[in-house]
Structure 1
Amino acid sequence: MKGMNNWRSGAQGNLWLADAMLLAVAIIWGSSYAVAKQALWFYPVLGFLAIRFGLTFILLLPQLRGERLRAIRPGLPLGGVMLGIFLCETWGVMLTTASNAAFLISLCVVFTPFVEWAMLRQRPSNLLFGACGLSLVGVWLLTGGLAISLNLGDGLMLAAALLRAVLVCFTRRLTADLQVPALALTAVQSGVVASGCLVLGLALPGGMPALPQSPTFWAATLYLVGFATLFALYAQNLALGRTSATRVSLLMGSEPLFGAIIAGLWLGERLTLTEWSGGLLIMLATLGTLRFGDVAAPVVGEGREPAACPATSRH
């Protein structure tokens, strides 16, 4: 009996540890919008992404050896999709508020079953149609309600959310039978994003500006690489072995709320009651899709993606 009690105590401890780590990741991902917005005060989008994902690629390069090299084949096209995501998302963060960005990007969860419907002819359940309608009302309220003011940044965040849904479906298709390690796949994708941004940046008139000297920029970039990518991947992979997909979904679904709160405390952004109502409706639609729909838990942030797929990267 004593041994059984010790086992139960240990299992409960592991569950609480997993929950705490996932909640920490949700907070980190929520903060990433404000951190990225601050980094963009010092360096343009293409340069920032080239540095950020170049560092990520270098740190993860040791993962690409032996059988893990099989991550290259699916990683190249998936990296191309991820390049489009981060171009939309990072310019979107620069052109809208960090609060709006955090709420709008979470719509990738609601979009995913409809992308699957288009690609695989698998009709979503009626509940998911309801969640989609709820999210549309949320977007309407978040962007102004009757005085709707969907700006370019908001539009880019919606495009990024749609591309994330496409990435989820392509990842499932391209890695279904390969069992590609998450870190190896993230390494390849990061290399594609860094290379793509560097080529685009050098192709512009005047090329890339000199590297920024601001300690704030480098602190923000290293935070995103170290915590929003590497720690998040580790915590996600550890937690998924110790807790249920439902708990993962509910904990990670709190990310937009943390994003809005941190943006308010750090950047001084303020949402009106109408905008808060819209953001919370988006969260409810996302959580409803995850909890009762047929979508895997989104574990896509820097390294975030559905639990059914190998990890990708996120803001």
Structure 2
Amino acid sequence: MSARTTTLPTLGLLAMTAVWGSTFFMIKDVVTRMPVADFLAVRFAIAALAMLALFPRHVWRLGRPGIMRGLALGVIYGIGQLLQTWGLQLIAPSVSGFATGMYVVFTPILATLLLRQRMPGVVWVAVGLSTAGLALLSLNGVSVDAGVWLTLASAALYALHIVLLGQWSRPGEAFGLSAVQMVAIALVCLVATLPHGGPVTPPDRAAWLAVLYMALIAGAGAMLMQTWAQAHLPATRAAIVMTTEPVFAAAFAVAFGSDVFGWRMLAGGALVLGAMYLVELAPRRKLVGALPAEAVHHEV
């Protein structure tokens, strides 16, 4: 595979990852003006409708088994989205970005536990590094903010999603499976709004613009870009590109004034990123490399 044929997909994937990173501080702002579940329900309902409009035949071709798998994957991902966004209400966008990136470490651990795949020793080193990094980013005294725990729980669910997607996805099913997952995510978030009487719409024009951006650009559009780019890139290279998401999250948070740059962010973020790269560069004969490229994803 020549450098020329991989340059455009790599740039596309990097742009998509920057878009994911840009959503953290935007979400932080929107959820101060509307409930988390309502925001997610509206966002993913719009994304689901867009995906269904684009790929109705792909969904139909999945058949009952494929649709059931897509619904199960979407439920897992939807719960992860709720936990992540609830956590983001309580912590800085930069911390949320790095804690969410822990899915890259959790994925091989879950693959080992669920699929009985052997985990190289370097992964344990990565777990130690990421734990130290998160401690620098997140510890207040001797306790960890509840928002960090919620975000770590969401990262674990994203890792489970990656592992199961690697087992259940089939060639040619990416578009249909993505659309079904979007529908399931929207339904999970809609159910979460029922205790207070159903979803409310964004309160103002700025909130609507943010929701539309995150539904169509960071949601449906990013899914399409990811599917195209990863059809032209090795899984390892794609995963390494996507581990830049927390860096973008921190950069956007600092640039737009919702976070302050400091030595703890620099040192903690470097340790977490180091852990992610160790995992992605570890021997992959029976580990994450066994998963399809399109499985490496956590933010829609």
State TM-score, norm by structure 1: 0.85
How has the CA–CA distance of structure 1 residues 220 and 256 changed in structure 2, closer, same or farther, with 3 Å as cutoff?
A: same
1:241 aligns with 2:226: no
| Aligned counterparts of 1:268 and 1:312: Cα–Cα separation in 2 | 25
- State how 1:21-170 maps to structure 2 within 5 Å: 21-62=12-53, 63-65=55-57, 66-69=60-63, 71-144=66-139, 147-170=141-164
- State how 1:130-279 maps to structure 2 within 5 Å: 130-144=125-139, 147-175=141-169, 178-179=170-171, 181-202=173-194, 204=195, 206-208=196-198, 210-279=200-269
Deviations 1:76-120 (A, max 9, x none): 111221121011111011111110010011111111111112112
| Aligned counterparts of 1:246 and 1:112: Cα–Cα separation in 2 | 14
How has the CA–CA distance of structure 1 residues 210 and 118 changed in structure 2, closer, same or farther, with 3 Å as cutoff?
A: closer
How has the CA–CA distance of structure 1 residues 91 and 222 changed in structure 2, closer, same or farther, with 3 Å as cutoff?
A: same
Which amino acid is the alignment partner of residue 232 of structure 1?
A: A
Which segments of structure 1 move beyond 4 Å, counting only runs of 4 or more? 309-313
Q: Supply the RMSD in Å over aligned alpha carbons.
A: 2.2
How has the CA–CA distance of structure 1 residues 14 and 271 changed in structure 2, closer, same or farther, with 3 Å as cutoff?
A: same
1:285 aligns with 2:285: no
* Count of residue correspondences: 293
Which SS does the other structure have where 1:95 is aligned?
Answer: coil
Gaps of 5+ in 1: 1-7, 298-305
CA contact (8 A) 2:120 2:282 kept: no
CA contact (8 A) 2:50 2:220 kept: no
How has the CA–CA distance of structure 1 residues 140 and 310 changed in structure 2, closer, same or farther, with 3 Å as cutoff?
A: closer
Which structure has the greater CA radius of gyration? 1
CA contact (8 A) 1:189 1:312 kept: no
State the match for 1:314 in structure 2.
Answer: 299
Percent identity of equivalent pairs: 30
Which amino acid is the alignment partner of residue 228 of structure 1?
A: A
State TM-score, norm by structure 2: 0.89
Deviations 1:20-47 (A, max 9, x none): 2121112111111112112212210111
Which SS does the other structure have where 2:197 is aligned?
Answer: coil
Deviations 1:250-286 (A, max 9, x none): 3221111111010111143014312321111101100
| Aligned counterparts of 2:269 and 2:122: Cα–Cα separation in 1 | 20
Offset, 1:123: 2.6
Gaps of 5+ in 2: none
